[in-house]
Amino acid sequence: MVLRFTRNGARLSRGWHVTNDDTTRRLDHTDDPDYADNLRRATLASSVGSALEYFDFALYGLFSALIFGDLFFSNLPPELAVVASLASFGVGFVARPLGGLFFGTLGDRLGRKWVLVVTIALMGGATTLIGALPTYDSIGAWAPVLLTVLRLLQGFGAGAEQAGATVLMAEYSPVRRRGFFSALPFIGIQLGTLLAALVFSLMSLLPDEVFFGWAWRLPFLSSFLLILLALFIRMRLRETPTFVELEKHEQVAERPVRDIFTTGFPSVVVGIGLRMAENGGSYMFQTLGLAFVAGNFIANPVDRGVATWGVTLGALIAMVVLPLSGHLSDRFGRRIVYRAGAVFLLLYSFPAWWVLSQGHPVGVIAVIAIGIGVAVNTMLGPQCAMLPELFGNRHRYLGVAMAREISAVLAGGLAGVLGAYLLAVSDGDWLLPAVYMATLALITTASTFLVPETKGRDLLRHDDAIRVSTDETHAAISTAVR
At residue 447, does pLDDT exceed 90?
yes
Q: Residue 52: what pLDDT? A: 74
Distance, in Å, from the CA atom of 285 to the CA atom of 300, rounded to the nearest integer, reads 18
- Average pLDDT (20-46) is 60
The residues facing 17 across adjacent strands are 11
CA of 63: how far to CAs of 49, 266, 385, in Å? Answer: 21, 37, 31
The residue that leads in pLDDT, 239 or 306, is: 306
Domain with 270 in it: 30-481
pTM of the predicted model as reported, rounded to 2 decimal places: 0.76
Q: 3-state class of 11 per DSSP?
A: strand
Domain count, the chain: 1
3 in any annotated domain: no
Distance, in Å, from the CA atom of 268 to the CA atom of 396, rounded to the nearest integer, reads 10
Which domain CATH number covers 418?
1.20.1250.20
20 in any annotated domain: no
Task: Name the percent of the chain lying above pLDDT 70.
Answer: 86
450 Cβ contact partners less than 8 Å away, ≥ 6 residues apart: 270, 273, 466
- Average pLDDT (77-81) is 76
DSSP class of residue 428 equals: S
The residue that leads in pLDDT, 378 or 262, is: 378
Among 131-145, 188-202, 342-356, the range of highest mean pLDDT: 342-356
The residues facing 212 across adjacent strands are none
Could you tell me the pLDDT band of residue 305, with boundaries at 50, 70 and 90? confident
Q: Residue 455: what pLDDT? A: 92
Q: Please write the tens of the pLDDT for every residue from 204-219.
A: 788 878 878 888 888 8
* 18: nearest Cα among 174, 173, 249, 239: 249
Distance, in Å, from the CA atom of 113 to the CA atom of 24, rounded to the nearest integer, reads 23
The residue that leads in pLDDT, 134 or 85, is: 134
8 in any annotated domain: no
Q: Please write the tens of the pLDDT for every residue from 268-294.
A: 999 999 999 999 999 889 888 888 888
Could you tell me the pLDDT band of residue 342, with boundaries at 50, 70 and 90? very high
Q: Cβ distance 437 to 288 under 8 Å? A: no
Could you tell me the pLDDT band of residue 4, with boundaries at 50, 70 and 90? very low
Lowest mean pLDDT among 179-183, 341-345, 443-447: 179-183
Q: Residue 479: what pLDDT? A: 45
Phi, psi at 17, each rounded to 5°: -125, 130
321 in any annotated domain: yes
Cα distance between the two ends of the chain: 34
Q: Residue 1: what pLDDT? A: 33
* 371: nearest Cα among 407, 345, 408: 345
Q: Residue 19: what pLDDT? A: 39
Q: Residue 254: what pLDDT? A: 63
Q: Residue 247: what pLDDT? A: 61
- Average pLDDT (442-465) is 90
- Strands (E) across 92-146 are located at none
The residues facing 6 across adjacent strands are 9
Task: Name the percent of the chain lying above pLDDT 90.
Answer: 23
Largest Cα–Cα distance in the chain? 79
Lowest mean pLDDT among 157-161, 238-242, 247-251, 328-332: 247-251
> Which string of DSSP letters, residue by residue, matches 349-406?
HHHHHHHHHHT-HHHHHHHHHHIIIIIIHHHHHHHHHHHHHHS-GGGHHHHHHHHHHH
Q: Please write the tens of the pLDDT for every residue from 389-446.
A: 999 887 888 888 889 888 888 887 777 778 888 888 888 888 999 999 999 999 999 9
Could you tell me the pLDDT band of residue 84, with boundaries at 50, 70 and 90? confident
- Average pLDDT (215-239) is 79
* 462: nearest Cα among 272, 258, 275, 259: 259
449 Cβ contact partners less than 8 Å away, ≥ 6 residues apart: 339
Q: Residue 34: what pLDDT? A: 67
Among 25-29, 230-234, 235-239, 361-365, the range of highest mean pLDDT: 361-365
384 Cβ contact partners less than 8 Å away, ≥ 6 residues apart: 166, 169, 170, 179, 182, 183, 185, 186, 326
102 Cβ contact partners less than 8 Å away, ≥ 6 residues apart: 156, 159, 160
Q: Residue 336: what pLDDT? A: 96
The residue that leads in pLDDT, 98 or 19, is: 98
Q: What is the mean pLDDT of the chain?
A: 80
Q: Residue 239: what pLDDT? A: 67
The residue that leads in pLDDT, 24 or 135, is: 135
> Which string of DSSP letters, residue by residue, matches 272-311?
HHHHHHHHHHHHIIIIIHHHHHHSSSSSSPPPHHHHHHHH
* Angle value at C-alpha 314, between 308 and 318, nearest 5 degrees: 150
4 in any annotated domain: no
* 307: nearest Cα among 291, 296, 327: 291
Q: Residue 250: what pLDDT? A: 54
Q: Residue 186: what pLDDT? A: 82
With DSSP H G I counted as helix, E B as strand and the rest as coil, what are the percentages for the chain, rounded to 5?
80, 0, 20
Rg (CA), the chain: 22
How distant is the alpha carbon of residue 72 from its chain centre?
27
At residue 21, does pLDDT exceed 70?
no
At residue 31, does pLDDT exceed 60?
no
117 in any annotated domain: yes
- Average pLDDT (106-132) is 80
13 in any annotated domain: no
18 in any annotated domain: no
Q: Residue 274: what pLDDT? A: 95
The residue that leads in pLDDT, 122 or 276, is: 276
Q: Residue 324: what pLDDT? A: 96
At residue 465, does pLDDT exceed 50?
yes
Q: Work out the number of other CB atoms within 10 angstroms of the CB of residue 343.
A: 18
At residue 229, does pLDDT exceed 50?
yes
Q: Please write the tens of the pLDDT for every residue from 101-113.
A: 888 787 777 777 7
- Average pLDDT (471-477) is 45
> Which string of DSSP letters, residue by residue, matches 189-228?
HHHHHHHHHHHHHHHTTS-HHHHTTTGGGHHHHHHHHHHH
At residue 295, does pLDDT exceed 50?
yes
